[in-house]
């Protein structure tokens, strides 16, 4: 038997499963906040990957963060030849079972066959009475099912909130949240302003992210286009550029700086500071412009105005999420080709590396992106309305 919704005991033990990167985890924060507000006396634990485990550290909405290397599941032949992996999983299962969770909430789509098997094993291992998640026709092991109409039918943040509603959570605030410390904000001020006073900074300060993370590098707009965008904004808006990203993107930043023809001040912050310090940097900038990737969601959580460049990926599922909050500004710039999106389309994974020509990004020129940047800078008062 299954149902569409339940109400949990006030002191319920809840496990939320989100084995994903930092961007996807941030999109879950409105749902997590709603669970805490609805069940203030509940125990709410969060199961994460090592990559994103530190992102929400210190947030009082979560009681315990549990870390699981999801790739342990992905190499079953290695498990047979490396018994230590099996022992690690056995200890993990035992720990989960000992909590006696009332409900386990799966904040994932059931897209691939092996993923469905993995999530089913994980949910059953908890021993929880209620197994709650999205059902795309393969959720037979769930007993509280939320209709999954495919990627982009709802934004991913909205899908997570729909799962929270299915256990009685009331949604009162849709903003993304990232708890930052005073020290992280101090580090960000040093990166942005150096030894100068904030009042002496050159504005507008534009954070630019030309990378995309390793999972799908096909999401990247060409580096020469980012250089041309910086030159265009230099002529029409002035200001300075902060190239942001991880240490693995330092070479990409150098390539872009080598292509510039204007005198616009440009600095690379590649690998400088933690992910949370990067979010604190985005609190200080006048604009963020970049590809579909984790930093875009960090910027959304920080409240920065955002221009997001989308090609093969699904902007309706993963576009910058403002939660309909007044004063938040975001724009998606993309072409409208019949093949778009080819990555996370309907109920399918699609093609993370796109097609051979990637026309969706190759044909996207600088002008529409620059126009969106100028519009947001005017709307937020960062530049003169005549610029």
Which DSSP symbol is given to 133?
Answer: E
b/e map 122-132, b = 16+ CB within 10 Å: bbeebebebbb
Protein fold of 182-379: Rossmann fold (3.40.50)
Give the pLDDT band (50/70/90) at residue 325.
confident
Whole-number pLDDT of residue 68? 87
- For the chain, the 3-state helix, strand and coil shares in percent, each to the nearest 5, are 40, 15, 45
What are 148-169's pLDDT values in tens digits?
A: 999 999 999 999 999 999 999 9
Nearest-10 crossing angle of helices 223-236, 250-259: 50
What are 238-259's pLDDT values in tens digits?
A: 999 999 999 999 999 999 999 9
**Segments of the chain assigned to CATH 3.40.50.2000:** 13-165, 182-379
First-to-final CA distance of the chain:
61
What are 169-206's pLDDT values in tens digits?
A: 999 999 999 999 999 999 999 999 998 888 889 999 99
Write out the two tokens for 373.
């940047």
- Give residues with Cβ within 8 angstroms of 319, minimum separation 6: 155, 292, 308, 310, 330, 332
Percent of the chain with pLDDT strictly greater than 90: 83
Whole-number pLDDT of residue 69? 76
Q: Which helix (H) or strand (E) holds 243?
A: strand 240-243
Give the helix ranges, DSSP H, for 127-249.
156-165, 182-193, 223-236
What are 68-110's pLDDT values in tens digits?
A: 876 665 555 555 556 565 566 777 788 889 999 999 999 999 9
Residue located via tokens 């047979």: 80
Give the pLDDT band (50/70/90) at residue 326.
confident
Q: Which helix (H) or strand (E) holds 349?
A: strand 348-350
- Which residues share a beta bridge with 208? 243, 289
Whole-number pLDDT of residue 209? 98
Indicate whether 214 pLDDT > 90: no
Give the pLDDT band (50/70/90) at residue 279.
very high
Whole-number pLDDT of residue 91? 76
* Cα separation values, 162 from 57, 297, 304, 360, Å: 24, 20, 26, 31
How many C-beta neighbours within 10 Å does residue 217 have? 13
Q: Are the CB atoms for 5 and 33 separated by under 8 Å? A: no
- CATH code reported for the domain at 13-165: 3.40.50.2000
Write out the two tokens for 204.
């507008």
Whole-number pLDDT of residue 152? 97
Give the pLDDT band (50/70/90) at residue 386.
low
Indicate whether 215 pLDDT > 90: no
* Cα separation values, 10 from 40, 42, 61, 96, 361, Å: 8, 6, 15, 21, 49
How many C-beta neighbours within 10 Å does residue 384 have? 10
């Amino acid at each position: 038997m299954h149902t569409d919704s339940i109400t949990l005991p006030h002191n319920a033990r809840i496990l939320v499963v989100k084995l994903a990167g930092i961007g996807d985890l941030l999109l879950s924060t409105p749902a997590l906040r709603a669970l805490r507000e609805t069940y203030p006396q509940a125990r709410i634990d969060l199961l994460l990957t090592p990559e994103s485990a530190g992102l929400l550290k210190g947030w009082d909405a979560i009681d315990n963060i549990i870390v699981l290397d999801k790739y342990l599941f992905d190499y079953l032949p290695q498990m047979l030849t490396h018994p230590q992996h099996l022992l690690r999983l056995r200890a993990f299962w035992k720990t989960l079972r000992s909590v006696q969770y009332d409900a386990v909430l799966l904040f994932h789509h059931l897209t691939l066959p092996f993923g469905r098997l993995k999530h089913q094993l994980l949910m059953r291992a908890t021993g929880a009475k209620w197994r709650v998640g999205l059902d795309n026709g393969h959720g037979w092991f769930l007993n509280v099912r939320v209709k999954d109409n495919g990627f982009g039918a709802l934004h991913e943040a909205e899908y997570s909130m729909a799962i929270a509603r299915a256990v009685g959570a009331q949604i009162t605030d849709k903003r993304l949240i990232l708890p930052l410390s005073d020290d992280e904000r101090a580090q960000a001020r040093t990166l942005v302003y150096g030894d100068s006073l904030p009042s002496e900074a050159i504005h507008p300060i534009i954070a630019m992210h030309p990378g995309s993370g390793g999972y799908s590098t096909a999401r990247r707009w060409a580096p020469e286009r980012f250089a041309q965008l910086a030159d265009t904004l230099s002529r029409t808006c002035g200001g300075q550029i902060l190239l942001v990203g991880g240490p693995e993107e330092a070479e990409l930043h150098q390539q872009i700086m080598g292509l510039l023809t204007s005198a616009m001040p440009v600095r690379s912050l590649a690998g400088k500071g933690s992910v949370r310090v990067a979010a604190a940097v985005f609190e200080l900038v006048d604009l963020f412009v970049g590809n579909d990737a984790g930093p875009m969601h960090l910027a959304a959580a920080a409240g920065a105005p955002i221009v997001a460049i989308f090609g093969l990926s699904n902007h309706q599922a993963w576009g910058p999420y403002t939660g309909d909050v007044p004063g938040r500004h975001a724009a998606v710039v993309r072409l409208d080709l019949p093949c778009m999106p080819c990555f996370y389309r309907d109920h399918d994974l699609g093609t993370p590396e796109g097609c051979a020509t990637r026309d969706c990004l190759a044909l996207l020129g600088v002008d529409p992106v620059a126009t969106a940047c100028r519009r947001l800078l005017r709307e937020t008062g960062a530049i003169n309305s005549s610029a």
